[in-house]
Structure 1
Amino acid sequence: MDTLSRVALGVLTVACCVVSASALGQPNNPTGPLTRAEVRADLAAWRAAGYDPLDWLHYPENAQRAAAIVAQRRASGAMPQPAQ
């Protein structure tokens, strides 16, 4: 193994350590994790707003559009707020 590839391997190792350490430093959610029923209800609301999780061709746009529709419906009281 030459010196350049050893340096590249070392940089990659350090980068992986930094990323994993920062993932451990995420703040704790005081409300706790969502239940399976809450996640399913949220997905049902997104799908009712037109989100298709299998549509990879239009992924960011369809997710953003559905998020805006769901937020608008929740703000207007048309659907319940998620548990917080």
Structure 2
Amino acid sequence: MNTLSRVVLGGLAAACCFTSAAALAQPYNAQGPLTRAQVRAELIEWLQAGYDPLDWIDYPQNAQQAGAIVAQRRAARAAAGAPGAMAPAQ
């Protein structure tokens, strides 16, 4: 293996490491990570809004409709000052 091919191989390895690290980056959440109970509560909320995770045929529409319903319900609870109103997940 000559010097040029080692430099190219090293550059390629460095680029792969950089892109994989950037792909794993998560957006900053000031509230911290969600707990298991919060995730379960959100799932129940989505299921009650009509989301079916097994309905892969109508997937995008199903999730978008349920997401809109969940957002409306959260906005209504926040407007009413309900203590159980959760901030939308990001």
Does the alignment reach a TM-score above 0.5?
yes
Bigger-Rg structure (1/2) = 2
Give the superposed CA RMSD. Answer: 2.8
* Moved >4 Å (runs of 4+): 13-18
Q: 1 or 2 for the larger relative contact order (CA 8 Å, sep ≥6)? A: 1
In structure 1, the residue matched to 2:47 is: 47
Scaled by the length of structure 1, the TM-score of the pair is 0.68
Q: CA separation in 1, counterparts of 2:35 and 2:57?
A: 30
Structure 1, unaligned stretches of length 5 or more?
1-12
Normalised to the residue count of structure 2, the TM-score between the two structures is 0.64
- Give the aligned length: 73
Question: Are the aligned partners of 1:51 and 1:63 in contact in 2 as well (CA < 8 Å)?
Answer: yes
| Aligned residue runs from structure 1 range 1-84, under 5 A | 17=17, 19-77=19-77, 80-82=84-86
SS of structure 2 residue aligned to 1:65: helix
Consecutive unaligned residues of structure 2, counting only runs of 5 or more, are 1-12
- CA positional deviation for 1:81: 2.1
Identical positions, percent? 62
